[in-house]
């Protein structure tokens, strides 16, 4: 399994200074592909990918149910679109498509690159909008991929290397877009934030995403927008 540093570290490429924050999820995905090209590491399992194809054999990933979707990269919201939108009126009147069409606040949140990561498609599908949390050890579900998903309990336990970043993303998104978090979830993310402090790869990612978004995630580290190139 690849080291945590490589998750978002040296393989990120520079973004032109003229890059602007995306206004839609489709724009965000196009920019994200540039940020992590030409080859990088998938978020949940640490598998290498190139383009939108994942080298499953190299990281000993075994599809649980959907080999075709497991073989491709998809762009995953750490804080799910459902969690961003279901608290808004637009969602009650037409779901995600309606929010993406008429609600500017939702559009900005859905397109926020701080919340977007490359994911194995099958993991993206299985995670859905399940919340993160602690789970007891269970037999491997995806070969050597160290993620646990309890569908009955509706919980996902991510690998230790990314727990801190997940927590800081939730705290940032909650603050920026006034998303309500349950008391239990907030306590979990604050605990993970303390237990898994930001490493170099996460600070580098925060700086480079900030060069596009115009601001960083303050829970990670301060950013220097004058250093954007």
Note the pTM of the prediction, 2 decimals.
Answer: 0.92
Predicted confidence band of residue 100 (pLDDT cuts 50, 70, 90)? very high
Question: How many Cα atoms are found within 13 Å in the side-chain-facing hemisphere of 179?
Answer: 23
Strand ranges, E, within the chain? 39-41, 48-50, 53-54, 73-77, 116-120, 131-132, 148-150, 155-157
pLDDT score of 215 more than 90: yes
User: Furthest-apart CA pair in the chain: how many Å?
Assistant: 48
Q: Are strands 155-157 and 39-41 parallel, antiparallel or unpaired?
A: unpaired
Mean local confidence (pLDDT), 88-95: 92
Structure confidence at residue 3 (pLDDT) = 40
Structure confidence at residue 14 (pLDDT) = 54
Q: What share of the chain has pLDDT > 70, as a percent?
A: 91
Mean local confidence (pLDDT), 91-119: 95
Helix axes 160-177, 200-213, angle to 10 degrees: 30
Structure confidence at residue 15 (pLDDT) = 53
| Out of 32-46, 113-127, 196-210, least confident range | 32-46
């Amino acid at each position: 399994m690849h080291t945590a540093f490589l998750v978002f570290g040296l393989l990120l490429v520079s973004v032109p200074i003229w890059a602007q924050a995306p206004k839609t999820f489709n724009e965000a995905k196009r920019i994200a592909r540039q940020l992590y090209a030409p080859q990088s590491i998938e978020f949940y399992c640490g598998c290498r990918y190139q383009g939108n194809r994942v080298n499953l054999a190299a990281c000993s990933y075994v599809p649980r149910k959907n080999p075709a979707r497991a073989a491709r990269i998809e762009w995953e919201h750490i804080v799910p679109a459902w969690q961003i939108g279901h608290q808004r009126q637009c969602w009650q009147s037409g779901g995600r498509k309606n929010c993406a069409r008429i609600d500017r606040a939702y559009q900005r949140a859905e397109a926020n690159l701080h919340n977007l990561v490359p994911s194995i498609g099958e993991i993206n599908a299985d995670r859905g909008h399940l919340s993160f949390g602690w789970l007891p050890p269970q037999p491997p579900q995806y070969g050597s991929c160290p993620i646990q998903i309890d569908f009955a309990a509706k919980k996902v336990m991510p690998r230790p290397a990314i727990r801190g970043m997940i927590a800081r993303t939730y705290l940032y998104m909650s603050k920026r877009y006034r998303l309500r978090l349950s008391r239990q979830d907030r306590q979990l993310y604050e605990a993970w934030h303390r237990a898994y402090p930001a490493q170099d790869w996460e600070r580098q990612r925060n700086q480079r995403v900030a060069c596009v978004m115009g601001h960083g995630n303050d829970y990670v580290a301060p950013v220097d927008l004058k250093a954007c190139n």
